[in-house]
Amino acid sequence: MYGARIIAPLGFLAGGVQAKQTFGFEGVHFGVFGSAGGIASLRDNRDNNSGFYFTGGALVTIGDEDAAFTAGGYIFGGRWNHYGHAYVANANAFYRTSKRLKLIIDAFTPVATHRHSTFGKWTALSYGIRYGGADMSGDIGFVLPIHDDMGDLMKFAPLGIPFVTFNILF
């Protein structure tokens, strides 16, 4: 599966390409994936808040098309005012509510970081709705960063940071 992705959280736009290959048998699937793209700030500021990202890793999924649990690990990094990367552990689950809608929850935490990197300093939980079909999918949800300094953010965004993704598969 190959595709392109646009991610639009508060004030940022990211676009890139992704490749994924899965294999397995009924009820258990293994996969590898990789993606890369660019990130830009939509806010008016003096800093050059643009750069690139990359990610790649492996995962295992237990379940079927109606409900599943996935666990994996990957590297995430890039350049955003400086270079950095983190090795991340990830777990997520979904439950299909209709032919085109799923409820999703995703948790990720760094297990090792680049010594000068701000990547991977926060654990996070995301939740929302995934929609789509064979050629297009997307997510609408919230990301809850889990960090000691999140008090001010939670005053203004108690549900988390909203995000929208669009994926076109080809």
pLDDT digits 0-9 by tens, 94-119: 999 999 999 999 998 877 666 655 55
CATH number at residue 125: 2.40.160
Predicted pLDDT of residue 67: 97
Closest among 137, 136, 74, 145 to 107, alpha carbons compared: 145
> With contact defined as beta carbons under 8 Å apart, do 55 and 74 qualify?
yes
Question: Residues 6 or more apart from 150 whose CB is under 8 A from it?
Answer: none
Predicted pLDDT of residue 33: 93
Rounded CA-CA distance 154/160 in Å is: 7
> With contact defined as beta carbons under 8 Å apart, do 131 and 118 qualify?
no
pLDDT digit string, tens, across residues 56-86: 999 999 999 999 999 999 988 887 666 777 8
> With contact defined as beta carbons under 8 Å apart, do 126 and 105 qualify?
yes
Domain tally for the chain? 1
Predicted pLDDT of residue 123: 83
Tell whether pTM > 0.85.
no
Q: How confident is the model at residue 10 (pLDDT cuts 50, 70, 90)?
A: low
pLDDT digit string, tens, across residues 11-31: 667 788 888 899 999 999 999
Domain region containing 147: 2-169
Q: DSSP 3-state assignment of 151? A: helix
- How large a percentage of the chain has pLDDT more than 70? 78
